[in-house]
Amino acid sequence: MELFMPSRAFFEPGALEYPLGRKLYDQLTARGIPVRITPSHNRVHGIPGETPQIAYREAKRTLVVGVKKILKLDSCRPSADYEFALVTSCPGGCQYCYLATTLGRKPYVRIYVNLDEIFAALQKYIDQNRPAITSFEAASTGDPLAVEHLTGSLRKTIDFFGEQEYGRLRVVTKFANVDGLLAAEHRGHTKFRFSINSAYVINTFEAKTAPLAERLAAAGKMAAAGYPLGFIIAPLFLYEHWQADYRQLLEDLAVWLRPHHPPSLSFELISHRFTARAKKIILERFPQTKLEMNEAKRKLKWGKYGYGKYLYPPTQLETLKSWFTQEIGRLFPQAEIEYFT
């Protein structure tokens, strides 16, 4: 797929004091991309959009470059011990994106340029927890691979973790531009997971992301480069013919895996859920969406941030869990299912 290039960019003044900020500014202005200064990466004005649909589309074409000021990390269970951000949001247009709740009407792509300060914060968490291994998720609030061709930040982060005896990095992506990461000194300390789904889900809900074939080609490159490999199937949807579609996905994946020999293989399984706020925003942006978001068919569960999530009822979750456990066990007996949520 074509690599992301913004239609416009905004810079915090402080971002220009960092090498990456200056590099991005020079790159974008050289391309003739309009650049403006904004007081804060959280308060950006001037993105066009007369309707919610246009505003969303234009936000996804907008790059905001800033400084990550809050360096206290949140927990990221069950994926990792902690999460941190190199970016927020991504250029993709997944209709179900769970970030609709937290980003609200600010889905523009943000890049943080103060890498050394971010690494110093990670180092503190690693040192405080040694000799135990501390794991960090780098893609819970955005997809750093989607803008890696602009930033190089993920490569530097992988190199940083390659030097850490007690730190491990986890990354998940729906993109495929991994060539710049293949020669990194990762030492097996970075686990790369590719988000995959049935053909129906990808074709219906995952606009502007890499096609499944490109994601798998990228996964093959990462496996050949010695990275621990995993797949996240998320979100899992219950719809007509879901079993046939997901069985096809898993069987095709098993065929793909035969010539590849990843050092390890794992799966993470996440069922679809939504919040009331996310539903409202999704319906504004995608009024014709085929997403099933009927609260009467779901069970409300309160999250750690004080808002409720509508999950599938327990019997349906158990159906999903047991079916995927059986099929993955049949097709990938060597693989680990890290968790189901």
Tokens of 240: 């007509």
- The CA distance from 237 to 243, in Å, is 10
The structural domain count of the chain equals 1
Let me know if residue 92 belongs to a domain.
yes
Residue 317 has pLDDT above 70, yes or no: yes
Query: Which residue type sits at 172?
Result: V
Let me know if residue 52 belongs to a domain.
yes
Residue 118 banded pLDDT, cuts 50, 70, 90:
very high
For the stretch 33-92, pLDDT in tens is 999 999 988 889 999 988 999 999 999 999 999 999 999 999 999 999 999 999 999 999
Strands 206-207 and 93-94: antiparallel
Let me know if residue 135 belongs to a domain.
yes
Q: Edge-to-edge strand order for the sheet containing 134-137?
A: 74-76, 80-83, 134-137, 167-173, 190-196, 229-236, 265-271, 336-340
- The CA distance from 111 to 10, in Å, is 10
Containing 126, the helix (H) or strand (E) segment is helix 115-129
Residue 306 has pLDDT above 80, yes or no: no
Question: In this predicted model, which residue has the larger pLDDT, 218 or 49?
Answer: 218
* Share of residues in the chain with pLDDT > 90 (%): 91
Residue 179 banded pLDDT, cuts 50, 70, 90:
very high
Residue 150 banded pLDDT, cuts 50, 70, 90:
very high
Per-residue model confidence (pLDDT) at position 29: 97
Q: What is the CATH number of the domain that holds 256?
A: 3.80.30.30
Residue 159 has pLDDT above 90, yes or no: yes
Residue 10 has pLDDT above 90, yes or no: yes
Let me know if residue 2 belongs to a domain.
no
Let me know if residue 3 belongs to a domain.
no
Tokens of 299: 């069970």
Place of tokens 């509508």: 310
Q: If you average pLDDT over residues 209-213, what whole number do you get?
A: 97
Distances from the Cα of 212 to the Cα of 1, 89, 176, 201, angstroms: 11, 20, 9, 11
Q: If you average pLDDT over residues 171-184, what whole number do you get?
A: 98
Q: Which residues contact 273 (CB under 8 A, 6 or more apart)?
A: 98, 235, 298, 301, 309, 310, 311, 312
Per-residue model confidence (pLDDT) at position 305: 66
Q: Which domain holds residue 56?
A: 8-340
* Share of residues in the chain with pLDDT > 70 (%): 99
Strand segments (E) across 182-307: 190-196, 206-207, 229-236, 265-271, 299-302
Residue 105 has pLDDT above 90, yes or no: no
Alpha carbon 72 to chain centroid, angstroms: 20
- The CA distance from 145 to 151, in Å, is 9
Per-residue model confidence (pLDDT) at position 288: 96
Tokens of 99: 């970030």
Let me know if residue 1 belongs to a domain.
no
Let me know if residue 61 belongs to a domain.
yes
For the stretch 263-305, pLDDT in tens is 789 999 999 999 999 999 999 999 999 999 999 999 999 876 6
